[in-house]
Every structure is written in C-alpha cells, then in structure tokens.
A and B are shown apart, each in its own frame.
Chain A
C-alpha cells in the first residue's frame, strides 16, 4: 500500500472514446503529478499540481486534460487518443514541490 491509489488498474479504449483516470492520495500531501511510462522509454512528467493549481504542463497534447478538484484527488481526462498513447500512467504526490515523490501503481492504458 503506497498511500496513492489509482483506478482503474487497466483500461482499454478506442480512439473515439472518452475516459478518465482517477488518483487519490491519503498522505496529506499538497502536490500531485501525472507521469507517463511507455515501453522502453524513461518516465515522462506530464502535469504538476501544487495546492490544486497547475504549475507545470510538460508540452502535453490537449487530448490529455488534467483536473485537480482538491489536494487529495487528481484526474486525467482522455479523449480521441492515439494508439501511441498506450502506456502506463502513473500518479504521484509529495508533501511539497521539493519533497520525495510517492507513486501509485499506475493505470495500464491500451488504445485500440
């Protein structure tokens, strides 16, 4: 148990679907993150939220839309994805922007 819970663990979606990934942390942290891990590529930072405000968008295409309603919850809304977007999407949280990251176990996304 990492304290960061991601749902669903696995998701298969077509290119025309709309789906959302959910992340919840029970650690009292103030910063939350989305990372993408593709096969044979290093982890890539996508978005950063600090006290519910987005502070980083690492040149992510608009078909990925994050939402952070409060410091404990983070969503990633997906629409019109491409097969190359298939990857492991990892959520993380930290006490602050300079503290160690705590990761969830990810959502394995397959786009068909």
Chain B
C-alpha cells in the first residue's frame, strides 16, 4: 500500500473549519483515500473515502488534488467533540483482507 504523510498535530478554534492535509505522493490509480478518526478511549470511526472526485457526507468533505498526490479532509464547523486523532489511509480498490495500514495520524485539538 502507498504510504501517507500527515502533520502530527493541529489546533482549530471551535466553530471554524478544520482542514487536515495528507500527502500520498506514491498513490496508484487503483487506490482509494480513506479517512478514519479515533476519539480518546474509543475505537476508530470511519469518516469518508474517495478515489478521484471530491466527496461530501454528513461528517466531512474530502478534497483530492487533480494529480491525486494529496488530499484534505474538511470538518466545516469543528466542535469540541471533534478532538481526535485523524488517520489518512491509502488502500487498493480490491483488498481481499481489507488490510488497512494505519500510520501516526494527526492529533486535532479543537479549542473553545
């Protein structure tokens, strides 16, 4: 699987948009970008995934650059409950074992 690079930590003011970057310069054409987050004392939570096009759901938006070498997860109005470690993961479209390789992630701190 292609590797990802994320900043280790970020701060965001409550109510503002949180923009979390991820570099995946070695991604191949048959690999998705997935985002999960892990709130303290909980298991990871799926957020969103995409292949080439930008995606939006009730939790977040995912913006993927045209060359697919990087992406940004956007939480439009961050709340204190969004404080968590956010993981950007690249995985093949067909991945029989659903084997996700979690890296270090970005620790997002949402402050009042």
Does A105 lie within 8 Å of B98, measured CB to CB? no
**Among B43, B96, B97, which residue has its beta carbon within 8 angstroms of that of A45?**
B97
Dominant secondary structure at the B interface: loop
Chain B hits for A100, CB < 8 A: 34, 46, 49
A-B pairs with beta carbons under 8 A, tally? 55
Interface residue A97 (Cβ < 8 Å from any Cβ of B): yes
Chain B hits for A43, CB < 8 A: 44, 100, 102
Interface residue A68 (Cβ < 8 Å from any Cβ of B): no
- Give A1-15 as 1s and 0s: 1 = Cβ < 8 Å from B's Cβ atoms: 010100000000000
Within 8 A of A (CB), among B27-83: 34, 36, 41-46, 49
Query: Interface of A with B (CB < 8 Å)?
Result: 2, 4, 31, 33, 42-43, 45, 48, 55-56, 58, 90, 92, 94, 97-106
Query: Interface of B with A (CB < 8 Å)?
Result: 34, 36, 41-46, 49, 93-104
Known: A97-B97, A101-B46. 5 other contacts (CB 8 A): A42-B101, A43-B100, A98-B95, A98-B98, A101-B98
Jot down 7 A-B pairs with beta carbons below 8 A, ordered by A.
A33-B98, A48-B97, A55-B96, A98-B93, A101-B44, A105-B41, A106-B43
